[in-house]
Amino acid sequence: MSSRQLQSMSVREQDAFALAEAAVRLDQARGKASDLALALEHNLELWVAIRTLVSRPGNVLPAQIRHNLVELSGFVADATWRDGVAMPQNRINTLININLQIAEGLLEKSVAETVS
């Protein structure tokens, strides 16, 4: 995707794209240790950024959503540090599914706001 296309997206759509892109990178890196290491690092950086943003004072997200995102961030970090490139396929699937589900939720919220 070009930078022009990214700039035309809302912040929420950009966030959804980043999560979906990280999910694709994880999926494509299966069985290739060096690629998987890079994909896991990228995914971890994304989730650290999410945790940082939702933990800031004055964040407008509801408390339960902030809590859930912090918990998911912790899960992603724990799985990445514990398993690294030896991560079992089912855990890679879990990380991919988390990213895709959060991305989907962001896009649904974006569409709902556009329609209202």
* pLDDT(114) > 60: no
CA distance 39 to 26: 5
- Say what the pTM is: 0.86
Give the count of domains, the chain.
1
CA distance 6 to 72: 25
- 31-65 per-position pLDDT tens digit: 999 999 999 999 999 999 999 999 999 988 899 99
CATH code of the domain in which 31 resides: 1.20.120
Q: What does the pLDDT read at residue 116?
A: 47
Nearest residue to 43 via CA among 74, 14, 77: 77
Write the burial class of residue 42 (CB in 10 Å: 0-12 exposed, 13-18 middle, 19+ buried). Answer: middle
- 52-104 per-position pLDDT tens digit: 999 999 988 899 999 999 999 999 999 999 999 999 999 999 999 999 999 99
Domain interval for residue 20: 3-115
